[in-house]
Amino acid sequence: MLTTGKAILDVANEHGFAVPAFNISDWAMFKGIVEISEETNAPLLVAIHPDEVSHIGRDLIKAIAERAHRSSVPIAIHWDHGATYEQMLEAFQFGFTSVMIDASMKPFDENVAISKKVVDSAHVLGVSVEGELGTIGANDSYAEGGSATIIYTDPDDAVTFVEQTGVDSLAIAIGTFHGFYPAHLKPELKLDLLKEIKSRVQIPLVLHGGSNNPDDEIREAARIGINKINISTDIKVAYHQKMREILGDDPKTREPNAIQPACIAAMNEVAAHKIELFGAAGKAALY
């Protein structure tokens, strides 16, 4: 069933688990992610970044919505890392049921202003909104300005931001990177900071990144206050690495049904691990 991000994350917040937001960039990836979510009976946010939106196009998003309506688990279609109000309007028109406005690189007051503007418009349409405060490190081109520095979320700012914007969920910076964690740094989540923020804002909190962070830390973060975790790098690496292996140097390997099933299986092995790690397996029964 197609639903909103808020409907999914409020239940996760109440019951203490995290919902995976898997970034997909083609139909085969989407189909596989829905199937493993149904197999594990886990709620799902299908995350699509603006670059991925430009790749798959508006028509495929309509097909994603149709498949979500027929799913045995709750699904929201989430616009990931929207940068402008105009992008949010496009997301509404395309049929997204959840959006993220990421103005975290702007001064605090500007972040508040644009996030509130998005919330005001989205809530009229019944669309959920995620904001972001603090900046997550970046080892790829899909994050906030490609910054290699983590600016940790300030709890006082988080309280003010949530009160003034009315966002339904908040992405916070507690020690993760987009892409793979830099080799010269030790991955470490500030779980005490997470606990303080959660105790003060209480809405669903979101973790972006997480590749190379220890499983034990991610599991604990989901248990104590993170209710949505974005996964992109890990599933895409598994998917495309298997594709490279299958294609090899044989020009005769060309049919999708000879190539993609094993790629989906490799991706879903990673996805199933994440679903279990986040505590989301079986939780579709709560909806």
279 is in an annotated binding site: no
Helices (H), the chain: 5-15, 27-40, 50-69, 85-94, 108-124, 155-165, 191-201, 215-224, 233-247, 256-277
* 167 has pLDDT over 90: yes
Residue 209 labeled ligand binder: yes
Domain boundaries, the chain: 5-286
Taking the C-alpha atoms of residue 23 and residue 274, their distance in angstroms, rounded to an integer, is: 13
Residue 82, helix vs strand vs coil: strand
Annotation-wise, does 123 bind a ligand?
no
Which tens digits make up the pLDDT trace of 125-136? 999 999 999 886
210 annotated as ligand-binding: yes
Please, what is the average pLDDT of the chain?
Answer: 92
* Number of other residues whose CB lies within 10 A of the CB of residue 211: 17
pLDDT band at residue 158, thresholds of 50, 70 and 90? very high
pLDDT of residue 178: 57
Shortest CA distance to 9 belongs to which of 120, 119, 128?
A: 128
Q: The tokens 């103005």 sit on which residue?
A: 103
- For residue 230, the one-letter residue type is N
Categorize the per-residue pLDDT at 146 as very low, low, confident or very high, splitting at 50, 70 and 90: very low
Q: What is the pLDDT of residues 232-274, one digit of tens each?
A: 989 999 999 999 999 997 888 899 999 999 999 999 999 999 9
Question: pLDDT tens, 54-97?
Answer: 999 999 999 999 999 999 999 999 999 999 999 999 999 999 99
Residue range 5-286 forms a domain whose CATH class is alpha beta
CA–CA gap between residue 121 and residue 85 (Å, rounded): 10
The pLDDT value given to residue 66: 97
Q: Binding site annotation covers 160?
A: no
Residues sharing a CB contact under 8 Å with residue 40, sequence separation 6 or more, in sequence order: 272, 275, 276, 280, 281, 282
Overall average pLDDT of the 107-134 stretch: 97
Report whether 275 belongs to an annotated binding site: no
Question: pLDDT value at position 186?
Answer: 59
Q: Are strands 226-231 and 177-178 parallel, antiparallel or unpaired?
A: unpaired
Asked whether the predicted pLDDT for residue 53 surpasses 70, the reply is yes
Q: Over 90: is that where the pLDDT of 193 sits?
A: yes
Q: Is 102 annotated as a binding residue?
A: yes
pLDDT above 80: residue 4: yes
CB atoms closer than 10 angstroms to residue 10: 17
Q: Which residues participate in catalysis according to the annotation? A: 80
Q: What pTM was computed for the model? A: 0.92
* Residue 240 marked in a binding site: no
Beta carbons within 10 angstroms of residue 248's beta carbon? 8
Q: Give the pLDDT score at 151.
A: 86
- Checking if the pLDDT of 278 tops 70, the result is yes
